[in-house]
Structure 1
Amino acid sequence: MARSVAFYLPCFDEQPKILAPEPSPLAIEFDEPEPAIDLPEPEPEDIRPVLTDELREQLLEEGRAAARAECDEMIARERAAVAQRLEEERRRWSREEGERLGREFRDSLGRYSARIGEDVERILEPFVVREIREKMLVALMDTLRILIADRENPVIHLSGPVDLLEAVCAKLNGEDIATKIEDVGGVDVRARLDATTIETRLGEWMAQLREGDDAA
C-alpha cells in the first residue's frame, strides 16, 4: 500500500511525552519535630458575686438570726433540764425532811415519856404540846423559806386550824409571799407550794402520846 510523504515526516504539533522518573531506592529523612512549648493555662474567670453592702448586711442578719435561734433552743433545753433536776431534788428533799421530822418528833415523845410519870404527863401535856407545836412551826417555816428561795411571787396554800394558820401568817408577815388559807380544823398545818406538800404531823404525835398513856 502506498503512503503519503506526510506520514514519514515528524509532527511538531504534538507535545513530547515525559516519562516519570523511577522511584529512588534511597530513604527520605525528615527533621525531628520541635518539642511542644507549654503555654500557661488561662486563669479562671472570677465569677463570684460582688459583695455589696446590701448583700453583706443580709448575710450578717441571716447569721445573727441563725445564732439567736440556736441560742434560744439551747437555753430552752437547759431550762427544762434544770427545772426537772430541781423538781426531783425538791421531791427527794421533801421526802427526806418529812422522815427526819417524824423521827425527831418520835424521839422527843420518847424522851418526854421516859422522864415524867403518868400524872405529870397529864399536867404537862398542854405545855409539851405547845412547845412541840412551836418547834413544828419553826421547822415548817424553815422548810417553806428553802422552797421559795428561787421562786418569783410564790403563793402558798395553807390549811389547818385557824390559830395555827394565824401563827404561820404572822411569821410570814413582812416577806414577799402570798398566802391562801383554809380553816379545816384539826391540829396540823398543811402547806402546799405547787406539787410540794408539807404537813406538821402534830396530830400523829399526840395520838402516840395518848397510846403511851393508855399502855401505862
Structure 2
Amino acid sequence: MARSVADFLRRFDEPRVVAPLAPEPVVIDEPLIEAEETEPREPIVELTDELRDQLVEEGRAAAKEECEELIARERAASLLRLETERRSWAREEGERLGEQFRSAFDRFVEETGADVGRVLEPFVTGEVRERMVEALVDRLRVMIADREHPVVRLCGPTDLLDSLCEKLGGEGVATRIEDVGGVDVRARLDATTIETSLEDWMRELHDEDGAQ
C-alpha cells in the first residue's frame, strides 16, 4: 500500500517524545588480577623395561654403598672399643703385676738382706778401712807440713800401722807404733790426736742389720 506525503511531514501539534537517557556506566575499582604463569610441566617419561632395569640397578648400587659405609663405621667403632679395652686391661694388669713384683722384691730383700750383708761385709769393711787410712794420712800431712823432724805415735792393728808407715815413709816423719789390736788407728802428734771410727761404723751397720 502506498503511503501519502503527509505521513512523512512533521507535525508540531503532537506532544514531544523525549528518548530516555542511557544509564551511565558503573566503574568498579578493582585491582587487576594478573594471570598466573603456569610452570611448564615436565614431559612424562614412559617407564620402559630398560628404564625400569636401570632404576633397579641404581637403587641396588645406592643400597650397597650405604651398607658398606655402615659396615665400615661399625668396624671402626669396634676397633676403637677393642683398643680402649686393651689399654685398660694392660694398665690394670701392669699395676697388678707391678704390685706383685714389689711385694716379691721386698720379701726377697727381707729374707736375703742379712745373708748378703754378711757376705759383703769383709769387702765393704776393707774398702772403708782403706779410705779411712787415706784420710788419716792426708790429715797427718797437713799437721806435719810446717814442722821439723816431727814424731808421730801410732796405735792400732799391725796391718793398718804398716800401711800408715809405708804411706808416710817419704814424708820425712818418724813414727812410733804400738800394736793394740782392734780395727781403728790412733795417731798422736804432740798434743793433737786423730782417730779413725771404723769400729763405730761397723757397730751401726750390725745394728741396722739386726733391726731389719
TM-score by length of 2: 0.46
Return the structure number with greater relative CO, CA threshold 8 A, min gap 6: 1
Tell me the TM-score normalised to structure 1 length. 0.46
